[in-house]
Amino acid sequence: MQAITTLARSTRLLIMDVDGVLTDGRIFFSATGEEIKAFNTLDGLGLKLLQSTGVKLAIITGRAAPSVEHRARGLGVDYYYAGIHDKRAALQSLLEETGFAADDCAYIGDDVVDLPVMIRVGLAVAVPDAPSLVRQHAHYVTGAAGGKGAVRELCELILQAQGNLERLMAGYLE
């Protein structure tokens, strides 16, 4: 766990996939064809806590769904890349836009399309139901499933590694 803490300590940008990470991977469609997704509020608060320490947030997702854009805007996600089929190219654009090095980034994903980013960042994270190949290339696999607190778990891991979790939680205990 010490190695994970060391990797998490240098995280300045958290990059996330959406389906299977911020959601449980299921996609619902309304009668009019609108895509509907469910997001976990635990993840949302974790992201807000992480942002409060200066860590930036990014989403790179293969689907372009209005519900995801709405959630990203509501969370104040700093960088939003939707409808992306080449996540490696999106990562490169993101690094150029932010000025961060790949080692400054953590990424959480759930499928093989996430591997081109996972193998390049400083901290690669997978959810437990990701395919074996994805879990093998992750530095850390969350205990919580995608859409069920996996992102919150990662946020708290980063906050703990950077020495901020206890201070932030103390504010809720006063």
Question: Which residues participate in the annotated binding site for Mg(2+)?
Answer: 17, 110
pLDDT given at position 114: 98
Residue-wise pLDDT for 64-103, tens only, equals 889 999 999 999 999 999 999 999 999 999 999 999 999 9
Place of tokens 């980013």: 117
Domain ranges of the chain: 2-173
pLDDT given at position 131: 98
pLDDT over threshold 80, residue 151: yes
Q: How confident is the model at residue 174 (pLDDT cuts 50, 70, 90)?
A: confident
DSSP 8-73: HHT--EEEE--TTTTS-S--EE-TT--EE----HHHHHHHHHHHTTT-EEEEE-SS--HHHHHHHH
Q: Which superfamily does 2-173 belong to?
A: HAD superfamily/HAD-like (3.40.50.1000)
Question: Which residues participate in the annotated binding site for substrate?
Answer: 19
Instruction: Please give the DSSP secondary-structure letter assigned to residue 112.
Output: G
Span 114-130, average pLDDT: 98
Question: Which residues participate in the annotated binding site?
Answer: 17, 19, 110
pLDDT over threshold 80, residue 7: yes
Look at residues 116, 136, 104 and name the one whose alpha carbon lies nearest to residue 17: 116
